């Protein structure tokens, strides 16, 4: 499929006549004269758009531009073999691919000028960050290479959905293949290697195209790539679940051959494909770059000799498909079409500032808090386990993966079920829907984005909060931004579970005792949930799974064995709603997670002294925290103490205090938090860093005395 029956065919018809445009004579391979002429028209439009964007920037009508020049033939070739139902994660230089897939020049220019009608992001993203659900183009982010893992995850998800009998999300189909592209310099990114390895391991129907123009901005590939050879870098994956190909991406016949083989291989479910395509970069990296400062005249001249438009021109002339005058008319028609599209886009209304907060989070209303059953008493870890099992029974889309989360295939053995046994028995109960991931946190979160895009509902595990850090790019730049940057066209609901925090008697030390809630709470586009008891753990988890949000579910591992009521499978706790655990009049103590039982322990000593603290469990610790409840309480008690496990600098407690002081000027406030260092080993080391019950008691006394 290629969208060349429209503006590009019209350009050809107007310049050289209908007879030539409809000529079905084969010129090279299975490329007809009409194909070749339309490919040339498409290439000219794409190149003229590169130039026009920089003109718009010079006029003050745009603020950045990045050219796709040099990829015109390669983009045409892949678009020719892909369909609108094939997900595409295009590199920011893939202008021609996106145009050939159906996006019009006018629609593309709307992104350039930041128009409210920009179909990619409503004017929120910079140019060349493509997105169009109608044409199968998944909203593109900026970090180089970060799109690779979601693309692999989407390919895996399409296969998994069919395996477990779940419909694939529209507009994808069961035979869809996933296209993702990147530059040769981006192969230095660790997440790209994770994606290639994962694609080969799972034999996902994904095509990873490395577009090699010899330079990553100013850094030559001979410096950044071992041996300077992309194909040599990856050829060892050939036969290991991946087909590794190379082509001259400036030659239309070779590019078409390679694209046809790659798409056919993935479509037939023979495994993943990696393509090394040699192309050119006739224009500087971006509008802020001048490549003549670091590329020699000889280098640029050699580049010019391989320009794909030049090679198309030579082919047209060789086969006498157009006269010199006809070619000039064709070029002029392409330029006129681009100018008309640009003028139309400039006339569009700009981004409406009043809409800027739409689609940061899902618009789904929170469920009311339901009544708990008079059930049995269980440990917190088994409340989570039971809630997971019930959720999987209710929703066949749910899949779970992470390190060590599965059971075992060895008869008679119980299996691991997570390092804290929270997922034990789930693989046995739901075979095919629970599996172990590689030891790679970015792969877990990144492929979960793709699984969600495929129509599944991932509930994945990262073993410790401390080890979420390797996945932060996938969380912060991909998962958290997808809904907002696409104006709601794409989203990736998921839950990421992880054990967090210390208070393990000194066993955790640094890298197994991190709270880090404040670092997460300020990320737009995610929810952060921290239960402190079995009932809340079950109710919050069910709501998180059903929320259509990206939710981080932090399980206090020091409380895993704490027992409490299992409230029943129907129980739900709304996100963003705090709980008042103890009413009081003298001071409000706000806590969450591990500090909740310590705050309650502190109240026992305080009440023996005649003080009556009010204790609030925040439960949800993100931008939608229950400020109303906290402000109302502090207004009554006259004082606020936030007790948190985070370090004092950067902890979420500072946000709580700031909001209360803003709403209630003059109120007395204080915080109890960890020291500004990492947690030390052993009981004494841990106690020296983390806040203790005595700290809460002392701070509460001081507040009441003020």
Residue-wise pLDDT for 618-655, tens only, equals: 999 999 999 999 999 999 999 999 999 999 999 999 99
Q: Which domains does the chain have, with CATH numbers?
A: 7-351 (3.40.50.970), 377-565 (3.40.50.970), 579-705 (3.40.50.920)
Told to judge if 512 belongs to the known catalytic residues of this protein, a careful annotator would answer: yes
Tokens of residue 226, six digits: 């071992």
CB-side exposure of 653: number of CA atoms within 13 Å? 26
Least confident window among 80-84, 278-282, 390-394, 485-489: 278-282
What is the pLDDT of the chain when averaged over all its residues?
A: 94
Quickly count: other Cβ atoms within 10 Å of residue 368's Cβ: 10
Residues 584-621 have pLDDT tens digits of 999 999 999 999 999 999 999 999 999 999 999 999 99
pTM of the model: 0.95
Q: Pick the catalytic residue: 129, 319, 512, 570?
A: 512
One DSSP character per residue, 453-508 reads: HHT-EEEEEEEEGGGGGGGHHIIIIIITTHHHHTTTS----EEEEEEE---STTSS
| 21: confidence class by pLDDT, cuts 50, 70, 90 | very low
Dihedral (Cα; 374, 595, 497, 368), 10-degree rounding: 50
pLDDT band at 3 (very low <50, low <70, confident <90, very high): low
Q: How confident is the model at residue 449 (pLDDT cuts 50, 70, 90)?
A: very high
- Residue 414: per-residue pLDDT: 83
Report which of 396, 402, 390, 471 is spatially closest to residue 435, judged by C-alpha positions.
402
Distance of alpha carbon 235 from its chain centroid, rounded? 28
Using alpha carbons only, how large is the chain's radius of gyration in Å? Answer: 29
Query: Does the pLDDT of residue 289 top 90, yes or no?
Result: no
- C-alpha 435/C-alpha 426 separation (Å) is 10
d(CA 672, CA 589): 10
Weakest mean pLDDT among 2-6, 223-227, 404-408, 648-652:
2-6
């Amino acid at each position: 499929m290629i969208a060349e029956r429209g503006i590009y065919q019209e350009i050809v018809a107007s310049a050289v006549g209908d007879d030539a445009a409809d000529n079905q004579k084969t010129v090279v391979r299975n490329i007809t004269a009409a194909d070749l002429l339309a490919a040339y028209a498409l290439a000219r439009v794409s190149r003229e758009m590169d130039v026009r964007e920089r003109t718009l920037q010079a006029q003050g009508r745009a603020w950045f531009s990045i050219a796709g020049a040099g990829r015109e033939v390669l983009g045409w070739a892949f678009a020719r073999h892909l369909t609108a139902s094939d997900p595409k994660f295009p590199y920011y230089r893939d202008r021609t691919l996106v145009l050939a897939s159906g996006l019009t020049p006018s629609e593309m220019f709307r992104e350039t000028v930041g128009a409210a009608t920009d179909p990619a992001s409503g004017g929120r993203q910079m140019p060349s960050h493509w997105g169009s659900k109608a044409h199968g183009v998944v909203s593109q982010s900026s970090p180089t290479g970060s799109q690779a893992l979601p693309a692999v995850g989407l390919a895996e998800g399409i296969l998994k959905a069919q395996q477990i009998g779940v419909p694939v999300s529209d507009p994808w189909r069961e035979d869809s293949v996933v296209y993702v592209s990147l530059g040769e310099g981006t192969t230095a990114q660790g997440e790209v290697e994770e994606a290639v390895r994962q694609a080969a391991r799972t034999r996902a129907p994904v095509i990873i195209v490395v577009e090699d123009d010899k330079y990553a901005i100013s850094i030559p590939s001979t410096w950044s790539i071992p041996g300077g050879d992309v194909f040599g870098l990856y050829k060892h994956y050939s036969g290991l679940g991946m087909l590794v190909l190379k082509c001259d991406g400036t030659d239309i016949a070779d590019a078409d051959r390679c694209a046809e083989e790659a798409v056919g291989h993935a479509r037939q479910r023979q495994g993943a494909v990696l393509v090394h395509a040699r192309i050119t970069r006739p224009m500087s990296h971006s509008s802020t770059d001048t490549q003549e400062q670091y590329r020699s005249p000889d280098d640029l001249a050699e580049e010019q000799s391989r320009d794909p438009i030049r090679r198309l021109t030579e082919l047209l002339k060789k086969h006498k498909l157009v006269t010199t005058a006809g070619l000039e008319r064709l070029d002029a028609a392409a330029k006129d079409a681009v100018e008309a599209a640009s003028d139309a886009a400039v006339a569009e209304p700009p981004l409406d500032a009043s809409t800027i907060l739409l689609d940061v989070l899902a618009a789904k209303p929170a469920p009311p808090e339901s009544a708990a059953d008079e059930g049995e008493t269980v440990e917190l870890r088994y409340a989570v386990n039971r809630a997971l099992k019930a959720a999987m029974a209710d929703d066949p889309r749910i899949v779970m993966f992470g390190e060590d989360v599965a059971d075992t295939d060895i008869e008679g053995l119980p299996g691991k079920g997570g390092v804290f046994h929270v997922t034990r028995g789930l693989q046995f109960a739901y075979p095919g829907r629970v599996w172990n991931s590689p030891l790679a946190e970015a792969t877990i979160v990144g492929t979960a984005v793709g699984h969600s895009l495929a129509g599944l509902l991932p509930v994945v595990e990262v073993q410790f909060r401390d080890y979420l850090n390797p996945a932060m790019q996938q969380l912060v730049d991909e998962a958290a931004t997808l809904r907002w940057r696409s104006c709601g066209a794409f989203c990736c609901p998921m839950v990421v579970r992880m054990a967090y925090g210390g208070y393990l008697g000194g066993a955790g030390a640094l890298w197994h005792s991190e709270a880090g809630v404040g670092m997460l709470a300020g990320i737009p586009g995610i929810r952060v949930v921290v239960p402190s008891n079995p009932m809340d753990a079950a109710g919050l988890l069910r709501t998180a799974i059903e929320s259509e949000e990206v939710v981080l579910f932090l399980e206090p591992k020091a409380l895993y064995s704490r027992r409490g009521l299992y409230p029943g499978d129907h129980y739900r706790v709304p996100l963003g709603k705090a709980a008042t655990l103890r009413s009081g009049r003298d001071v409000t103590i706000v806590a969450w997670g591990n500090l909740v039982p310590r705050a309650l322990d502190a109240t026992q000593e305080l009440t023996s002294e005649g003080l009556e603290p009010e204790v609030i469990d925040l439960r949800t610790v993100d931008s939608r925290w229950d400020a109303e409840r906290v402000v109302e309480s502090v207004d009554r008690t006259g004082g606020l103490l936030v007790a948190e496990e985070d370090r004092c600098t950067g902890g979420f407690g500072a946000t709580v205090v700031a909001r209360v002081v803003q709403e209630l000027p003059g109120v007395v406030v204080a915080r109890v938090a960890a020291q500004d260092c990492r947690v030390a080993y052993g009981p004494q080391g841990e106690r020296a860093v983390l806040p203790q019950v005595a700290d809460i008691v002392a701070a509460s006394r001081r507040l009441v005395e003020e």
